[in-house]
Amino acid sequence: MAEWWRGSVTYQVYPRSFQDDNGDGVGDLQGITRRLDHIASLGCDCVWLSPIFTSPMKDMGYDVSDYKNVDPVFGTLQDFDALVARAHALGLKVIIDQVLNHCSDQHPFFTESRRDRTNPKADWFIWQDPRPDGTPPNNWLSVFGGPAWQWDARRKQYFMHSFLPEQPELNFRNPDVVDYMEGVLRFWLDRGVDGFRFDTVNYFYKDALLRDDAADYRVKKEPEGNPYGMQYHLFSKNQPENLLWMERIRRVLDDYPDRASVGEMGESHHAIAMMGQYTAPGRLHQCYSFEMMGYDYTAEFFRTRISDFFTDAPNGWPMWAFSNHDVVRHASRWAKHGVSQDAIAKQAGALLLSFEGSICLWQGEEIGQTDTELAFEELTDPQGINFWPEPIGRDGTRTPMVWDDSAAGGFTTGKPWLPVKPPQLARNVASQQGAQGSVLEHYRAMMAFRKGSALAHGKTTFLATPEPILAFTRGDLLCVFNLSPEGRSLGVEGVGAPTGPSMGGVLAGAKLDLAPNAAVFLPVTGAISLG
């Protein structure tokens, strides 16, 4: 059990949108607790809760004003304890988000820090004098638009924020800040959590000299919708001191039996290499990136991402995911590659659950949920509002979980905080429960197959195949995927008949016929030959 996380499947819950049990239209901890049976019935090993801490909700909980309490909209610490107890009774681990890089401007520490330049918290945040002409100290940009510096008239200085101005960055070069954050981790570990997902894990330290970031060197087919993507972020994040903080985090976790960590790698230039650095021995247990959360859906794309990780970071460990609360759902992103919406949803599930590494599922993908099309006036996400109409923003993926076909999808008896629309209502848990061929039942079958086969721990060897066919072995199992809406065929020797939850594959002699969006698993019986 010391490495329960290795090869595990984690289910990400967005608390605002999973289940509302008090009728206010916002999900809560009691609702999540009631629905844990659904997650357990899938065969998941772990639940990840996005932030539940006290917050003004300027960025939906990623702006924390009290790291050691639960926001009243979600419930109480006692509700949290009950959730953990129920999860453990069902055999589920619980990890929670930790948003330590920045806090809310309503946090008492920042309120004190901005008062003057001499108070006890004066150096707890990144403050800097303006340049002589009054402009910010460098060219760093905010992910959410504009400069990463906000003027504060109290101190007559700028403070730094990588996201909203209401999310000031903590100064991790101050050892008191690091000590405090270690105490936060121990507070939740003492309450029984099984580990943490660290938000923006490569952002903690900034260049000590505050040097300008460079222009992005990459040639792009389309202009950026967000200027942040026009820079190569050499100095505003990704500093070597980050790795020392990872090592300290690991020492804390090692004080508690069977705990695990995963870091969010928010990086577009060298994400795979950095995942390896951050999960090297003595650092984080796992790391995941946004590498597979774009629009690429080719054999070459998946092959290179996985092989690059295990080649470049043989001592590290990845957590692969296709979607999360920040990106368009993959059933929508990859729809053009599917002969139907169900076909692409089922194939993507089979593909993801076949990968070597740990896996993270985003709530609703097990029913093939699609993004919700929202009007501007329906948005709550500051990123979506600031950059309307492009990028789209994150509200479309965050709409409530759909449990049945009632007006609010069984999510709430009140008015949901984001709308539940007919295309999403059509994909609900109740209608797929026990239905042969449904996306939900396919996920359950794939999860059981993963646990009982070489997909759990077998090493990956990729085989040479033409697009759009992806083929690799995991131990004694050959996995073949036709990543297109047209049928294909492949010569194959050294395997037995399709097994497990295979779909769309017929083996006749030495010929494997692949239906559109086929996902086929074949036992290896001898030397494999493809042609």
Q: Cite the active site residues.
A: 199, 264
Q: Which residues contact 217 (CB under 8 A, 6 or more apart)?
A: 232
Residue whose tokens read 């969006």: 517
Q: How far is CA 409 from CA 46, 50, 119, 196, 415, in A?
A: 25, 21, 51, 30, 11
Burial profile 411-429: b = 16 or more Cβ within 10 angstroms, e = fewer: bbeeebbbebbeebbebbb
| Structure token pair of residue 185 | 């981790």
Which residues have a Cβ under 8 Å from the Cβ of 220 and sit 6 or more positions away? none
Helix (H) or strand (E) holding 96: strand 93-98
Three-state SS string over 479-493 comes to EEEECCCCCEEEEEE
Spatial neighbors of 90 by CB under 8 A, at least 6 apart, are 36, 37, 39, 40
E strand spans, 329-459: 358-362
Question: What is d(CA 444, CA 422) in angstroms, rounded to the nearest whole number?
Answer: 25
Alpha carbons 26 and 497: distance in angstroms, whole number = 48
Query: Which distant-in-sequence residues (6+ apart) come within 8 Å of 508 by Cβ?
Result: none
Reference 107, options 40, 62, 172; nearest CA is 62
Residue 129: which of 141, 138, 118, 140 has the closest Cα? Answer: 138
How big is the CA angle at 185 (ends 2 and 71), to the nearest 5 degrees? 120
Place of tokens 């577009």: 268
Q: End-to-end distance of the chain based on CA atoms, in angstroms?
A: 42
Amino acid at 187: F
Beta-carbon neighbour count of residue 499 at 10 Å?
Answer: 15
How many Å separate Cα 280 from the centre of its chain?
A: 20
- Side-chain-side CA neighbours of residue 184 (13 Å): 23
Query: How many CB atoms are located within 10 Å of the residue 137 CB?
Result: 19
CA distance linking residue 163 with residue 142, whole number of Å:
5
